[in-house]
Amino acid sequence: MPLINRRLTTVVAGLSILGATGILTWTSAHEVDAFAAAETAANYRLTSVNVEDSKLTLAWYGEATKYRVRIGTDLKNPLLDTTTSDPIASLSELSSKTSRSGTLRYRIDNLSETESTKVLGGTITLPPATASKPKINELASNGLALAWDKVEHASHYDISFTAGKDSEPFAIHRISSDKPEFTIATLKPGTTGTVQVRAVRDGVLGEFSEARSFTTPAETSSFAVGAWNVCSESCKGYGSRSGAQAQAVQNANLDILTLQEAGGKRVGRTTNAAFSGGERGFVRATGGSKARYIFYREELFDQLDGGTFSVGHGRTVAWARLRDLKTEQAFIVASVHLSPDKGKNGVRGKQTSVLTSTIKRINSANEPVVLAGDYNSGVHRSGDQVMGRMSRAGYSDTVQIAKTTEGADMNSFNWNKTTPKRSGDYVDHIFVNSGFEVPLWRQQHPGVAGRVLTDHNLIAAKLTLSRTNVKVLKETTESVLLPSMTARDATTTEPQPEP
């Protein structure tokens, strides 16, 4: 049997009985939690109607010493027929049939030794059932579209928005339709809150539903991407270095990390164990392998796709398509390691062309792209064929376009020396296309107790991502905003007869 949740109307100053029959109502707000059309005798009045779960309680004021109370859909065969000396009576079980009908009749008689006189009587409209938890069918930067299960006998609905679980509503919209759906198109981007629904039956309020949390997509999001060649196999002692490297990454406050020379089959497990988790909550993107890995913070992003592809000459690229949870914007990030040796400019040029053309095919939606890693080349290299091809493909080196740089005078390859060279010679790069702005680029030379952790420095760029395909809802469902008094339930105190 569906439960009818607790609603209470207490008859106090400010409520009125209109003529011989009337409606118990807050005169200032025209809202009630249950109402009773009443026939009253002099010096008698109904003081409250309380519905809690499947129990209905009536309380009244009167001068009799004994009463007969009948409640039911048909008073000739009532659900409750009882006598009481107290001006209060309860119907303990409301049947499912009664719950669905939503209307009961009641009669209260003054009993004396010789006669029974009707002093109160009329109908009670029960509150509608509690609405189901609303579903979000569409989420946009300016609002959301909701739907919920239809509540039987509801004439319309209230939709309440709050900034948080324990917050007061910042808006309650009342829709005149009985259709279980509502669209709001007036929220700001990045709005976080909860939404609840309650059914209304002819002015009688149901309980609010379970709250649904939401966050409208923000216009922009900023996060830090790092690239680091950790030299897991060519340099000695990776088992003892990997933990310190992972801690250096945590200390650098990165949100996405691309690794090069991260180990493959032989020490890949060591890399995964060391860099996963931690205070930043990193998880490894699926699809990365062959010494190129991508780690990201699961609380900020989720992965939509990923894999690896060859750029020739034994080199592979790991890529992942991530979605930024703040903006709902998808983007691609890749971990790149091109062939070494100064004499292989031509090889690296061809690898760069394969890299950019393959990413272009993967990026059919023309989303923002980050290509980070060890390119074994740079503008300082005579005969370089990487930088020009990257530029012609629409990519910029973040160190060149960053508004602020830190450590830009250091060479990114440090020769395993505790004191790095400072000629601004970079072989490690973070390239982005036009989908990003770059507030900050920085380079660090991490070490522990005078020990260098790898032969490359850690580079990072803070990126600002903007939504490219902005989804906007067109209009809000026709509704009225309820004033503060109607936004709150009536005080639920036990009914007491007046002295």
Structural domains of the chain, with CATH:
7-127 (2.60.40.10), 135-217+473-486 (2.60.40.10), 220-466 (3.60.10.10)
Q: Which residues contact 179 (CB under 8 A, 6 or more apart)?
A: 150
Q: Which of 29-43, 109-123, 164-178, 418-432 has the lowest mean pLDDT?
A: 29-43
41 versus 215: which is more confidently predicted? 215
Mean pLDDT along residues 466-491: 74
3-state secondary structure of 497: coil
Highest mean pLDDT among 93-107, 233-247, 261-275, 401-415: 401-415
Mean pLDDT along residues 125-129: 86
Which pLDDT belongs to residue 36?
55
Q: Are 335 and 372 in contact (CB under 8 A)?
A: yes
Question: Token pair for residue 204?
Answer: 């009688």
Mean pLDDT along residues 214-220: 94
Residue 279 has pLDDT above 90, yes or no: yes
Strands annotated E in 75-185:
80-84, 88-91, 103-111, 116-125, 135-140, 143-147, 156-162, 169-175, 181-184
Which pLDDT belongs to residue 377?
96
CA distance 423 to 7: 75
Residue 102 has pLDDT above 70, yes or no: yes
Amino acid letter for position 394: G
Q: pTM above the 0.85 mark?
A: no
Which pLDDT belongs to residue 490?
29
Q: What percent of the chain has pLDDT over 70?
A: 86
Which pLDDT belongs to residue 496?
29
Instruction: Give the closest residue to 130 by CA, choosing from 205, 209, 195.
Output: 209
Q: Which of 13-27, 145-159, 216-230, 268-282 has the lowest mean pLDDT?
A: 13-27
pLDDT 10s digits, 16-56: 222 222 333 322 233 344 555 556 677 899 998 888 777 88
Which pLDDT belongs to residue 233?
84
pLDDT 10s digits, 49-69: 888 777 889 999 998 999 999
Mean pLDDT along residues 258-278: 87
Mean pLDDT along residues 81-90: 96
